[in-house]
Amino acid sequence: MTTLRLPTETGTIEPYTLQGEALPPPHGKPVFNRVAMAAAHVVSDPLSAIEPSAGGAVDWERTLAYRDHLFGHGLAVAEAMDTAQRGMGLDWPTALELIRRSVENARHHKGALVFSGCGTDQLDPADASSLDDVIGAYLTQMDAIQAVGGRVILMASRALARIASGPDDYARVYGKVLAHAEEPVILHWLGEMFDPALAGYWGGDDFDRTMATCLAVISDNVAKVDGIKVSLLDAEKEIVMRRRLPEAVRMYSGDDFAYPTLIKGDAHGHSDALLGIFDAIAPAACHALAALAKGDSDAYDRIFAPTVPLSRLIFRSPTRFYKTGVVFMAWLNGHQDHFTMLGGQQAMRPLPYFAGIFRLADQAGLLRDPGLAARRMRQLLDLHGVEA
């Protein structure tokens, strides 16, 4: 058995012996009874001469290959979202190129589904002087995504959060933008733990009131809304809102802490999934969701249970840097040859964080080649002056 000396959160170094057994690849096309989307990361190009402070460059071949990996596990792809470092290294022109390539790539996979992030990130919030500026920025992106055959996830807008004076402004902007959608879209309510600039979204800080504003927007535009992703990391809030949605509108869980319970559901309903953690735990998500579809809730619980502490670590505060953990997992598992990220974001977590991910991924059966993962973990330890 392979043993490494790994740092701990208390500053000590302790031996760890790999103990997990990698989950097997799926046999045939997985069948789920939930819609399951992974918000996918991008692979940066480590040979690019672009300064990390300017964002960097994307390795398109490896980025699309990772989408193939997700499709192979039965997952749909949520493209150019927060997990792809949108607004944290991935600008709008590059995001549009990513969307174009991803939509085209999906055509080679029977039944593959891609929804893509539509926001206002080409508009500096400081330059937004009116609601029309925000509407115009949204429509520019919506037109571009629809022109390449893409489905839309309507992302939260930093510019709207800055200039909106109350709930009526949100209703006006969303009403105008949704009217322009060619197919039903997914709304995204992203909490301030993921992006502090979105504090007070929907016109206030009181959840019941902001939820009422969001529900009113959905009810007024129900034919244009496929569902809503709620990323507040609060299971009770998601359940309360889920029970108040119109019957035809899906709740897509964005809770990377309580997803097994929310997806499994209760007597009143369930959530579908649109999760960043599914990028990192695609094999477990595939097997768990397939078990749920077969009515084997014990297997569902057993497979997902060890992924929850892993996800809680990856998404720990400051939550917006969870992408670093997601990309680290992809590197450990051989989906990319390097551990670098757009904007140099690989440096945004400490060494014990990575050691913790390594341990928990092993225990969850999510190191597909434990020998390779151990070698790469040693490389990272060597870089930090730790003898493994």
Interior/surface letters 46-78, b for 16+ CB within 10 angstroms, e for the rest: eebeeebeebbebbbebbbebbebbbbbbbbbb
pLDDT band at 192 (very low <50, low <70, confident <90, very high): very high
Contact (Cβ atoms closer than 8 angstroms) between residue 245 and residue 272: no
Q: What pLDDT score does 388 carry?
A: 76
Contact (Cβ atoms closer than 8 angstroms) between residue 343 and residue 262: no
Which tokens belong to 73?
């596990």
Bond prior to 30 in cis (omega within 30° of 0): no
Interatomic CA distance for residues 247 and 218, integer angstroms = 11
Over residues 101-135, the pLDDT tens digits come to: 999 999 999 999 999 999 999 999 999 999 999 99
Q: What pLDDT score does 1 carry?
A: 82
Q: What pLDDT score does 3 carry?
A: 97
Contact (Cβ atoms closer than 8 angstroms) between residue 262 and residue 239: yes
Q: What pLDDT score does 79 carry?
A: 98
Question: Is residue 177 scored above 90 in pLDDT?
Answer: yes
Over residues 330-371, the pLDDT tens digits come to: 999 999 999 999 999 999 999 999 999 999 999 999 999 999
Interatomic CA distance for residues 72 and 127, integer angstroms = 42
Q: What pLDDT score does 129 carry?
A: 97
Mean pLDDT of the chain: 97
pTM (whole model) above 0.85: yes
What CATH class has 32-44+53-322? alpha beta
Over residues 13-72, the pLDDT tens digits come to: 999 999 999 999 998 999 999 999 999 999 999 999 999 999 999 999 999 999 999 999
Question: Is residue 250 scored above 90 in pLDDT?
Answer: yes
Characterize the bridge pairing of strands 3-7 and 13-17: antiparallel
Domain ranges of the chain: 32-44+53-322
Q: What pLDDT score does 307 carry?
A: 98
Whats the size of the chain, residue-wise?
388
Interatomic CA distance for residues 262 and 270, integer angstroms = 6
